Structure 1
Amino acid sequence: MATVPTFLAHGPWAREDVSVSWSDEAYVPEPATVEAADAAIAALKARSSPSHDGLSTRMARHRVDEHGRLHLDLQPIRWALRLLPGGAARSMTGQCVVRSHDGRWLAGRRAEWVATWAGRWTLGAGGAVDVGESPMRTLERELQEEWSVTAERIRGEALLLLPNEVVMFVGVAWLPPGAEVERDPEHDEHDWWPADIDAWPDHAEPSLRALARMIEAAG
């Protein structure tokens, strides 16, 4: 199994550069996978974490055309599959990295009760792509839901395949001068890390530094 993300496609993409088509047919996993997902949800409930199981989004196919535009074929999938270490079946998530007008990076520590990345620091906002939703819209929605703020501009950066078979659509949002964030209950602490990635605190994980360097390299 891979231990680092695989790049499926590179941006940058504006909103109009990302198109989606939807299948009405939901993804059907093997019975053993269903049992594993049931067990994962039960484990969340055992530690009093809201499960929110239901339908989410799976990427069936993708392509980049001759103009650099990204086209995604999506279908419904059970949300709980994203909890499986190697069986997420290309469930799709959006990760909106947030930068202030002067280049600082918004970092938040996930609360201990949440389903994913509990107790760990992340960059910006992130979450599952809802059924019927474009990943570009996911970035905007998660930014508003998690930090109660609207971006001055948002750009898609990359499509990644994570080691657990989750597909991550990465984008970056720039906030206007004077914008103030208000964290949601899924975060118990937040900070603005310096524009210089080398000056980040020790608790910034290597994967976050790598993600930020990828965004910087894209300009």
Structure 2
Amino acid sequence: MKLRSLALAAAGMALAGCHTDMWVQPRVKYYQPSEFFADQSGARTPPAGTVPRGQARTDDPKYTGRTPDGKLVTELPARLVLDGQEVDTRTELGKVLRVGKDRFTAQCSHCHGAAGDGQGMITKRGLVLRRPPASYHTDRLRKMPIGHFFDVMTNGFGTMFPANYRLDPDERWAVAAYIRALQLSQAMDPDALTPEERAKLGGAN
């Protein structure tokens, strides 16, 4: 009997030790008020001078698509981080375009079409009623600086919602570069090509 009592006591102590205080500690849940602060708000403004880990933004044009005077950026940022690797856009444009094509196909082509002509499956099936996606192959959009496409993906345009929650800033620049490549693919002047490039095109037919 004594052994049984000791065993039960030991089991009780073991079970008590399983309690995890971190699960029941005082904390504020998302969007909940807090009596701890004078303004009763549980959502706090970050202290001045602090930056969330991995989100230091020291190059404003890269994150806004605009220069300090508000004009649209006309060139890709010199460096992007794509799929975890730093890419020099001046010497590794092929990598930028590969990532841009991948993200464009996954996130944009269903409305804008694989060729950027505004004839994606959603458009063809009549699910875009108010304002169909524009074709990238119009004179107006061909003349737009590359920063325009980044700005539209960041802030949305017309009936298009922002894509900033699906594509990080570097991915948005890669997609913008791919859109420009699509435009060139449909409007390139053959006389601007070198003989070697024209020969490659001839062999592809």
TM-score band, normalised by shorter chain = under 0.3
More helix by share: 2
Q: Normalized against structure 2, the TM-score is what? A: 0.22
TM-score computed with the length of structure 1 as normaliser: 0.21
More strand by share: 1
Q: Give 1 or 2 for the bigger CA radius of gyration.
A: 2
Q: Which has the higher contact order (CA 8 A, sep 6+)?
A: 1
